[in-house]
Amino acid sequence: MKKFISILAAAAIVATSATSCQKPNTLTAAEEAEGWQLLFDGETLNGWRSFNEKELKGGWTVVDGCIQASGEGGDASGYIVTDKKYANFELVWDWKLTKGGNSGMLYHVVEHPRFSVPYVTGPEYQLIDVEGWEEKNAPAKLEDWQKIGVDYAMHLPDYSKMKINPVGKWNSSKIVYDNGHVEHWLNGEKILEFEAYTDDWFARKASGKWGTATEYGLAHEGVLCLQDHGDPASFRNIKIKELPKKDKGTVSLFNGKDLTGWELFGSMRVSVDEEGNLVTENGTDLQYGYLGTREYYKDFDLTVEFKQCSNGNSGLFFHSFVHGGFKSNVVNGWQCEVAPKGYDTGGVYESYGRGWLKQIPEEKESIIKEGEWNTLRLKVEGNKVQTWLNGEAMMELDDELIGSKTGRIMLQIHDGNNIKVLWRNFKLKNL
């Protein structure tokens, strides 16, 4: 029996050596042929910068062919991100922690001054020395959703499949994000698998740590992020292979029965009438309100019908989000105007601060049919935005900032005096 065990141990050593014989931070010919790319060259931090910054700030260095987190970061600092955004991918990396160390790899992180930390938007593969952390922070104990390998505060791994090398030794992890299908791997074993954006996923998001983090996990693309959470950590062999986007075809954003797929912000009353129309109107305080899709959309072609029943000052927002929780009505993004005659229905307005980006020609103000059903079409593809009203082209613009963002589609009710607008037939084609 001892001889048999010795043979197994020797085989394990050979297997370990076989996986580590490749020079760190390089690609094999086979990997290059498969489309893998290096995210770290082993010598510089080219391609990385500090979160929400244009350059790399202190706390991160290259030491002996590894990206080294100094351990000077904290909950609100110490994050570096890739220059490039990624949507669907396989991502692998090696990592090594110090005793009690705490770090992580985040993806689909959205950068914006409103987001002070990456984790309020980007899901995290947690990296932590559980035993050392609990020893260092006794009597505090980690919750299961905070431990190694988890989809942080959302999904737990299969602990029976987890094989973790001791502190100070290298481990290898992988994240697969394939059009909403997510996998976590650790040292060659798949430890976690789930589908994002299902009813179960949204229920987990609403009931846990992210219940008030309205924009958590909604982006389908974003930068990758390494975390310095106050402990030194090392990273190497960071490689990514991008996966193709799947055609989702045309979808209906409103089922004509209830608000499934939508979330309410600020002051607004929303209902579905007997004819299956979506009814949006001012709340009792007559302040702004928004009804937003619970998912983000980047490139799309959307048609929707609306009827202005009272005043009609509204809007169709895109690439947008609300900051400050569900009671907030502080929207960030762009608005395709929906308003009474003479107020540029079909024009595009920016809530960031630039104001009107493109208004409609004066002679096209007569195209809107007040008190009747109108058909609005909004197409957003890359930097280009186009609108049509009742089959007539209203405007088009090219804007790099719009093209760089993603976000919710949202219906607005303006503040003012008992505004009421009906909506129906939301048809969206993902581009």
Q: Phi and psi (nearest 5°) for 81?
A: -130, 160
Virtual CA dihedral for 315, 321, 324, 329, nearest 10 degrees? 0
pLDDT at 13: 38
pLDDT tens-digit series, residues 21-51: 689 999 999 999 999 999 999 999 999 999 9
> Predicted confidence band at 417 (pLDDT cuts at 50, 70, 90)?
confident
Virtual CA dihedral for 160, 162, 167, 169, nearest 10 degrees? 140
Is 94 a member of any domain? yes
Query: Distance between CA atoms of 376 and 394, rounded to whole angstroms?
Result: 10
Domain containing 111 — which CATH number? 2.60.120.560
* Per-residue pLDDT at 197 exceeds 80: yes
> Predicted confidence band at 20 (pLDDT cuts at 50, 70, 90)?
low
Query: Distance between CA atoms of 388 and 402, rounded to whole angstroms?
Result: 18
pLDDT tens-digit series, residues 214-245: 999 999 999 999 999 889 999 999 999 999 99
Find the helix or strand (DSSP H, E) in which 200 lies. helix 199-207
Is 11 a member of any domain? no
Give the residue from 85, 80, 83 showing the smallest Cα distance to 118: 80
Provide, rounded to the nearest whole percent, the portion of the chain with pLDDT above 70: 95
The arithmetic mean of pLDDT across residues 102-113, rounded, is: 96
**2-6, 193-197, 251-255: range with lowest mean pLDDT:** 2-6
Same domain? 329 vs 396: yes
Domain containing residue 357: 250-430
Is 6 a member of any domain? no
Final residue of a structural domain among 208, 242, 276? 242
Find the helix or strand (DSSP H, E) in which 369 lies. none
Give the residue from 254, 258, 255, 154 showing the smallest Cα distance to 206: 154
Same domain? 276 vs 343: yes
pLDDT at 286: 86
Same domain? 225 vs 293: no
Give the number of domains in the chain.
2
Query: Distance between CA atoms of 371 and 384, rounded to whole angstroms?
Result: 31
Final residue of a structural domain among 214, 242, 270? 242
Final residue of a structural domain among 242, 268, 284? 242
Are the CB atoms for 356 and 343 separated by under 8 Å? Answer: no
* Per-residue pLDDT at 12 exceeds 90: no
Is 3 a member of any domain? no
Same domain? 106 vs 126: yes
Same domain? 83 vs 150: yes
Same domain? 175 vs 216: yes
Write the secondary structure of 87-133 as one string of H (helix), E (strand) and C (coil): CCEEEEEEEEECCCCEEEEEEEECCCCCCCCHHHCCCEEEEECHHHH
* Per-residue pLDDT at 429 exceeds 60: yes
DSSP state of 385: E
> Predicted confidence band at 351 (pLDDT cuts at 50, 70, 90)?
confident
What is the dihedral sign for C-alpha 166, 177, 88, 117? negative
* Per-residue pLDDT at 154 exceeds 90: yes
pLDDT at 287: 86
Between 9 and 60, residue with greater pLDDT = 60
The arithmetic mean of pLDDT across residues 389-412, rounded, is: 97
**13-17, 53-57, 216-220, 421-425: range with lowest mean pLDDT:** 13-17
Same domain? 212 vs 81: yes
* Per-residue pLDDT at 192 exceeds 60: yes
> Predicted confidence band at 76 (pLDDT cuts at 50, 70, 90)?
confident
Same domain? 89 vs 232: yes
The arithmetic mean of pLDDT across residues 290-305, rounded, is: 97
Same domain? 49 vs 164: yes
Same domain? 222 vs 352: no
pLDDT at 285: 87
DSSP state of 345: T
* Per-residue pLDDT at 103 exceeds 60: yes
Same domain? 44 vs 82: yes
The arithmetic mean of pLDDT across residues 88-113, rounded, is: 96
Is 9 a member of any domain? no
Is 2 a member of any domain? no
Is 72 a member of any domain? yes
Is 363 a member of any domain? yes
Same domain? 335 vs 229: no
> Predicted confidence band at 14 (pLDDT cuts at 50, 70, 90)?
very low
